[in-house]
């Protein structure tokens, strides 16, 4: 493995494009990721998140565009990048009739790792798997399976981790513990790209990128994205919320209506028109109307409603 001074940025890409047939899967993507940063990718299924991540890390060649990953050119030095990246897919893909230690040893053998026993023990210790090291993978809960998958990614001590919806189907406690591990790794200088549909996980990322149908719609911290959307949000509560939702549909200023627990969140960019419509619709009724803070979920629903899919159909 050739040595090279560490780049200030983990990822720095410009104008990436990718087509599959006549479908423009990623459209002019430009993005920067700092060392030791957790970047969360959000967006609807089929929006190009995984394709974007793979191109940024030299795992998939773009049709056009340029950039670097870990200081290496994504077009000409993908081999060097791959040696320094750990990739964890959504689907659990280890051998269920082998123990945790045996699985990790097998992976290390496949990659012909030097000092593989030391690497296996280091991964087991680093991900707190020692107490379960002899347990068969098939008997592990979803959370422990994901931790095993993360340990396998860490065997070769990568500088960058790619995690594709890593906690899908995992219970909330295990998800929280998994994210605590990710922040520990980030504190050690490891950069992490993670795709997720969970808003609580998005808020745990240092920065976010929202991709809808091939286009980067928003990027920045959670606070920056919420502020940049410039949404006005109101909460409507009371009985028969379906009736008030029907009454508000298509009214001036009302851009989206979404159920949030026992209330409706009604949002739009024209604050004055939105408030006026709400006051008219609820005047003389028992429905309660009050201002609410716009959250990530409000913003992402709004962004999705404004985006076109890859075949031009409004979503």
> In sequence order, which residues have a C-beta less than 8 Å from that of residue 62 and are 6 or more positions away?
16, 17, 18, 26, 55, 74, 75
What pLDDT, on a 0 to 100 scale, did the predictor assign at position 315? 38
CA distance 300 to 280: 27
Return left, alpha or beta for 34; rule: phi > 0 is left, psi -120 to 50 is alpha, else beta.
Answer: beta
What is the predicted pLDDT for the residue at 104? 95
Q: What is the pLDDT of residue 3?
A: 53
* pLDDT value of residue 275: 96
Cα–Cα distance, 180 to 90 (Å, whole number): 19
Q: Looking up tokens 């591990």, which residue turns up?
A: 181
- What's the pLDDT at 72? 95
Full strand arrangement of the beta sheet holding 232-237: 256-260, 263-268, 232-237, 288-292
Q: Chunk the chain into consecutive blocks of 10 residues (it has 315) and report each block's average pLDDT, rounded to whole numbers.
A: 64 95 93 94 86 89 95 94 86 86 92 88 90 93 88 91 84 87 93 90 93 90 93 94 93 92 92 95 93 91 70 42
Q: Is 203 helix (H, G, I), strand (E, B) or coil?
A: coil
pLDDT at 313: 42
Q: Which long-range contacts (CB under 8 A, 24 or more apart) does 183-186 make?
A: 183/38, 185/154, 185/161, 186/36, 186/37, 186/38
Listed in sequence order, the residues at least 6 apart from 217 whose beta carbon sits closer than 8 Å to its beta carbon are 43, 210, 211, 303, 306, 307
Strands (E), the chain: 9-20, 23-34, 38-42, 64-69, 72-73, 85-88, 160-164, 191-195, 207-212, 215-220, 232-237, 256-260, 263-268, 288-292
Q: Tell me the domains of the chain and their CATH numbers.
A: 9-225 (3.40.50.300), 232-293 (3.30.70.100)
| Cβ atoms of residues 258 and 249 within 8 Å | no
Q: Are 68 and 62 in contact (CB under 8 A)?
A: no
| Per-residue model confidence (pLDDT) at position 312 | 46
């Amino acid at each position: 493995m050739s040595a090279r001074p560490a780049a200030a940025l983990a990822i720095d890409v410009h104008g990436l494009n990718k087509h599959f047939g006549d479908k423009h899967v990623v459209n002019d993507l430009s993005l920067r990721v700092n060392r030791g940063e957790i970047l969360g990718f959000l967006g609807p299924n089929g929006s190009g998140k995984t394709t974007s991540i793979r191109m940024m890390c030299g795992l998939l060649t773009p049709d056009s565009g340029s950039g670097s990953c870990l200081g290496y050119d994504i077009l000409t030095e993908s081999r060097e990048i791959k040696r320094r990246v750990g990739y964890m897919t959504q689907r659990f893909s280890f051998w269920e009739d082998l123990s945790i230690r045996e699985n990790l040893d097998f992976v290390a053998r496949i990659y012909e790792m030097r000092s593989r026993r030391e690497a296996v023990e280091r991964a087991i210790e680093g991900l707190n798997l020692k107490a379960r090291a002899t347990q068969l993978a098939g008997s592990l809960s979803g959370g422990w399976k994901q931790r095993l998958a993360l340990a396998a990614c860490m065997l070769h001590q990568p500088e960058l981790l790619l995690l594709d919806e890593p906690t899908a189907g995992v219970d909330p406690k295990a998800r929280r513990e998994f994210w605590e591990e990710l922040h520990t790794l980030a504190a050690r200088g490891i950069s992490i790209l993670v795709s997720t549909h969970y808003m609580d996980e998005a808020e745990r990322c240092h920065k976010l990128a929202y991709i809808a149908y091939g286009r980067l719609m928003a990027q920045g911290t959670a606070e920056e994205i919420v502020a940049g959307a410039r949404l006005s949000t109101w909460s409507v509560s009371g009985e028969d919320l379906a009736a008030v939702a029907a009454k508000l549909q298509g009214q001036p200023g009302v851009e989206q209506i979404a159920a949030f627990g026992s209330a409706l969140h009604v949002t739009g960019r024209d604050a004055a028109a939105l408030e006026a419509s709400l006051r008219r619709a609820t005047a003389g009724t028992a429905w309660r109307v009050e201002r609410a803070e716009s959250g990530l979920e409000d913003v992402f629903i709004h962004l999705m409603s404004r985006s076109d899919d890859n075949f031009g159909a409004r979503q």
